[in-house]
């Protein structure tokens, strides 16, 4: 078969060759094209070519650029002569990607590849239209050499003051066509001149194999212990974040993201920096544990309650799986010129995020117990997968991935841990449940109003304790601190002072210190003494001296209080805002219902709407062997069908003129004969406008003045009105 085009090349491939192409470029079978002509169109599209180019290593991309710099047809010997001796290996890979295809005598590039990379590949200019005497460059004057030195490695164009009156060096080069004028102020150096000055090579240097990764060796046991601690910590961070938003929901921005103020608030609450807080919020969002409801409030979803009941290994796996596959990049939050980019917002998607993330984890797992040096590791990743569509962020994305892998527990002390390797290998049991410490059911209350949890607490105890105490520090043991504000929070959740005291006495293995008992009793006594309701809102207190103190407190001027009775004040703010202002001024109000009853209860909100999974852009999963096999079979069948239809159209065009003309009665008689014989027919058929087309049909029956038959062109049953049939002939 003569190969004259890329489509002809695809038709020449056997099933193994097509499977190799589809495995290298999964987008070609998503969905499966109907035939090989359609496959060629898709494979030649700029979008598909860009994906394929992004899959090349640095060396393979250099070889592809060199191929673009050659004539339209070239040989492997031509490629090696201007690149590297190992170029043959890269050319084989480029052929498997469909970026180069062989003809009978040479190699060629699909036209779309040349067009995509034609803009000064490897810093070389366009081919010269004139015949050049390149040896004259060895005798170039000093002024001309200075100009050439600036253009040799690209970009190949430069500016001149006036093309009609250039300097002597540029004039010498222009006279000999070593520079070509583009306009009155721009000149460009032809491709042949650039390659000659580079010593006959297209690039300055070549690395045919990936550079090695250097770093610090770690002890495996220490790595796994550190990773286990990271896993326990990140699960605690996610749980604490969502418990916090269940009690005090954050307000989403109009654009749909998390505001800077709320990000700082959760950062301070959990005790982590803002970058880590954004990462934790994104983890919860990706796993469907939170959502933004119709009131633009960020709330935990019902999935969070299910997640809490699962084992640590299951909870961690759900976070890790979504992190690996997402195109969202939390590292962009607050980054340099992108300070307006918000966590949970729509601006975080990057096309190469997931592929870079998976590559980083793969490289880490290939070198266990090695904490890589960032510069060395980045160089290796960029050689394996140099990003062409999003190069500006790649180095940062690699650094962010290493940081997030440590937070998430894929690594410990910077080196690959066994949990991440087991997860990537699809193991049924990762070992997290076995290695993490078992939950404890007690705390140790200290004399300084703190309590120590000697391990991860059971869920119910952790929830109740978080309502009455704030976390002060984390680690192998967690330190909680009791304060007036934390006790007040517990009272707001519906617990009485006696219930708080009973819970702490029951849970602690050390006796409760007297100062803490006094603190609980004192706050409980004050709590509810001041009550807030809606008018917009009212403030009621039986202690008239406290009413007088509030009226004279300058810090409360924002409330615009008005006294309507000796024990009642009203203001323009709603009850929730009024309570926040009073609490910030040091008062301890409680909410009151319209019937005067104290409003209490555990405030743990859940979103009513189902969480909407964030989109994933830029990634197509690699096809399985069965998918590849099915795709090849489908295309082969489609190609046969297309070939058959083409032959039918050719036959129809030739047969239409030779069909005998018959009247309606003659047509009816002939059709009756051929229906009985069940013989395929060639018929002429007039449409509504009188235009006659040729059809090849299998007659089935005559019914109600029409022929019911299967049309070979469509494969469907159709009805042909007999008066419109212009002629009939057997095949």
CA dist 662 and 671 (Å) reads 11
- Check if the beta carbon of residue 350 is closer than 8 Å to that of residue 394: no
**Count of Cβ atoms closer than 10 Å to residue 622 Cβ:** 10
CB-count exposure of residue 529 (10 Å: 0-12, 13-18, 19+): middle
Same-domain status, 166 and 232: no
Q: CA-CA distance, 148 to 178, in Å (whole number)?
A: 9
Report d(CA 507, CA 419) in Å as an integer: 33
- 193/239 same-domain check: no
- Is the pLDDT at 448 greater than 80, yes or no? yes
4 backbone dihedrals φ, ψ, rounded to 5°: -110, -10
186 shares its domain with 250? no
Q: Give the count of domains, the chain.
A: 4
301 and 415: one domain? yes
Cα-to-chain-centroid distance, residue 361: 16
The dihedral through the CA atoms of 271, 274, 275, 281 has a sign that is positive
How many percent of the chain have pLDDT more than 70? Answer: 92
**pLDDT at residue 351 is higher than 60:** yes
The average pLDDT across 81-86 equals 91
Q: How far is CA 45 from CA 350, 388, 452, 689, in A?
A: 21, 16, 62, 38
Question: Quick one: 378 and 293 in the same domain?
Answer: yes
Same-domain status, 147 and 266: no
60-74, 198-212, 388-402, 613-627: lowest mean pLDDT where? 613-627
Confidence label for 50 from pLDDT (cuts 50, 70 and 90): confident
- Whether the per-residue pLDDT at 674 is higher than 80: the answer is yes
Judged on CB neighbours under 10 Å (0-12, 13-18, 19+), 89 is middle
Asked if the structure places residue 27 within a domain, the reply is no
| Domain co-membership, 160 together with 252 | no
pLDDT tens-digit series, residues 587-632: 888 888 777 777 665 556 666 666 666 766 766 778 888 888 888 8
Q: Does 424 lie in the same domain as 290?
A: yes
- Asked if 172 and 50 touch (Cβ cutoff 8 Å), the reply is no
- For residues 234 and 190, state if they share a domain: no
Average pLDDT (218-241) is 92
State the pLDDT at residue 414.
Answer: 93
Q: Same structural domain for residues 226 and 328? A: yes
C-alpha to C-alpha distances, 440 to 106, 254, 447, 450, 601, nearest whole angstrom: 72, 43, 21, 17, 26
pTM: 0.72
pLDDT tens-place string over residues 487-521: 888 888 778 888 889 999 999 999 999 989 889 88
Last residue in a domain, options 543, 564, 591 = 591
Residue 272's alpha-carbon distances to 147, 284, 320, 474, 480, in angstroms, are 55, 16, 20, 11, 16
Answer yes or no: is pLDDT of 295 > 90: no
Q: Is residue 18 part of a domain?
A: no
In tens, the pLDDT along 534-547 reads: 577 888 888 888 98
**Looking at the structure, do residues 278 and 401 belong to the same domain, yes or no?**
yes
In this prediction, residue 461 carries a pLDDT of 85
Helix axes 459-468, 497-507, angle to 10 degrees: 130
Q: Does residue 598 sit within a domain?
A: no
- pLDDT reported for residue 618: 64
Q: Please compute the mean of the pLDDT values over residues 52-59 and round it to a whole number.
A: 89
Residue at 128 is within a domain = no
Report the CATH number that the domain containing residue 715 is assigned in CATH. Answer: 2.30.30.100
Q: Which of 320-329, 520-529, 589-598 is predicted with the least confidence, judged by mean pLDDT?
A: 589-598
CA atoms within 13 A on the CB side of 521: 6
**Nearest in space to 720 (alpha carbons), one of 678, 669, 668:** 668
Are 188 and 255 within one domain?
no
Q: Residue 365 sits in which domain range?
A: 219-435
Residue 515 belongs to some domain of the structure? no
Look at residues 591, 606, 629 and tell me which one is the last residue of a structural domain: 591
- Domain contains 381: yes
Rounded average pLDDT over 434-442: 85
Length of the chain as a residue count: 731
| 62 falls within a domain | no
What average pLDDT does the segment 440-444 reach? 89
Domain boundary among 591, 606, 638: 591
pLDDT at residue 119 greater than cutoff 80: no
DSSP state of 120: S
Least confident residue range of 60-74, 544-558, 569-583, 628-642: 628-642
Is 60 part of a structural domain of the chain?
no
User: Do 174 and 130 touch, CB atoms closer than 8 A?
Assistant: no
- Residue 283: its H or E element: helix 274-286
Asked if residues 632 and 39 have their Cβ atoms less than 8 Å apart, the reply is no
């Amino acid at each position: 078969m003569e190969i004259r085009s890329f489509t002809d090349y695809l038709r020449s491939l056997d099933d193994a060759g097509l499977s190799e192409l589809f495995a290298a470029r999964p987008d070609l079978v998503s969905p499966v094209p109907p035939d090989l002509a359609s496959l060629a169109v898709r494979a030649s599209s700029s979008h598909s070519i860009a994906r394929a180019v992004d899959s090349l290593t640095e060396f393979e991309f250099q070889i592809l650029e060199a191929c673009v710099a050659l004539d339209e047809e070239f040989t492997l010997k031509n490629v090696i002569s201007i690149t590297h001796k190992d170029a043959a290996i890269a050319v084989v890979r480029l052929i498997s990607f469909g970026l180069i295809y062989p003809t009978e005598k040479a190699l060629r590039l699909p036209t779309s590849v040349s067009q995509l990379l034609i803009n000064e590949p490897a810093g070389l200019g366009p081919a010269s239209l004139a015949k050049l005497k390149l040896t004259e460059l060895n005798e170039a004057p000093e002024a001309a050499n200075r100009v050439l030195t600036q253009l040799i490695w690209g970009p190949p164009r430069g500016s001149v003051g006036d093309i009609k009156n250039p300097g002597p060096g540029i004039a010498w080069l222009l006279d000999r066509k070593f520079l070509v004028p583009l306009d009155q102020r721009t000149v460009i150096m032809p491709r042949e001149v650039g390659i000659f000055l580079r010593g006959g090579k297209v690039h300055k240097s070549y690395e045919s194999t990936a550079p090695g990764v250097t770093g610090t060796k770690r002890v495996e046991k220490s790595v796994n212990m550190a990773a286990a601690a990271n896993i326990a910590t990140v699960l605690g961070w996610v749980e604490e974040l969502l418990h916090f938003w269940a009690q005090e929901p954050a307000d989403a921005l109009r654009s749909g993201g998390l505001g800077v103020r709320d990000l700082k608030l959760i950062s301070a609450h959990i005790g982590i920096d803002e970058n880590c807080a954004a990462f934790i919020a994104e983890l919860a969002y990706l796993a469907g544990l939170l959502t933004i409801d119709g009131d633009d409030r960020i709330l935990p979803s019902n999935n969070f309650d299910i997640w809490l009941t699962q084992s640590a290994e299951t909870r961690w796996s759900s976070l890790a799986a979504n992190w690996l596959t997402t195109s969202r990049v939390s590292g962009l939050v607050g980054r340099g010129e992108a300070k307006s980019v918000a966590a949970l917002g729509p601006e975080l998607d990057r096309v190469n995020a997931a592929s870079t993330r998976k590559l980083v984890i793969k490289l880490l797992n290939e070198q266990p117990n090695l904490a890589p040096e960032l510069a060395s590791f980045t160089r290796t990743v960029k050689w394996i997968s140099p990003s062409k569509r999003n190069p500006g962020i790649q180095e940062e994305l690699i650094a962010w991935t290493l940081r997030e892998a440590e937070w998430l527990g894929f690594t410990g002390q910077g080196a690959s841990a066994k949990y991440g390797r087991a997860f990537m290998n699809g193991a049924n049991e990762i070992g997290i449940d076995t290695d993490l410490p078992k939950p404890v059911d007690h705390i140790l209350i200290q004399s300084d109003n703190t309590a120590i949890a000697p391990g991860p607490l059971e869920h119910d105890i952790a929830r109740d304790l978080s309502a009455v105490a704030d976390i002060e520090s984390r680690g192998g043991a967690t330190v909680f601190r009791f304060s007036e504000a934390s006790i007040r929070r517990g009272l707001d959740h519906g617990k009485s002072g006696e219930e708080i005291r009973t819970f702490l006495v029951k849970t602690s293995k050390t006796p409760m210190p007297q100062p803490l008992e006094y603190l609980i009793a004192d706050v409980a006594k004050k709590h509810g003494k001041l009550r807030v309701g809606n008018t917009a809102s009212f403030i009621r207190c039986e202690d008239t001296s406290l009413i007088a103190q509030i009226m004279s407190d300058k810090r409360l001027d924002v409330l615009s209080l008005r006294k309507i009775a000796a024990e009642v004040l009203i203001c323009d703010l709603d009850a929730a805002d009024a309570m926040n202002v009073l609490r910030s001024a040091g008062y301890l109000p409680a909410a009151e219902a319209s019937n005067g009853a104290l409003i209490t209860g555990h405030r743990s909100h859940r979103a009513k709407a189902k969480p909407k999974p964030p989109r994933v852009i830029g990634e197509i999963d690699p096809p399985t062997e069965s998918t590849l096999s099915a795709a090849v079979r489908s295309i082969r069948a489609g190609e046969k069908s297309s070939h058959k239809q083409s032959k039918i159209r050719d036959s129809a065009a030739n047969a239409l003129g030779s069909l005998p003309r018959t009247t309606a009665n003659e047509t009816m008689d002939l059709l009756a004969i051929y229906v009985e014989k069940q013989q395929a027919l060639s018929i002429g058929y007039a449409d509504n406008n009188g235009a006659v087309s040729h059809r090849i049909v299998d007659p089935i029956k005559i019914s109600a003045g029409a022929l019911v038959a299967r049309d070979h062109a469509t494969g469907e049953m159709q009805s042909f009105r007999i008066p419109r049939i212009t002629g009939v002939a057997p095949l």
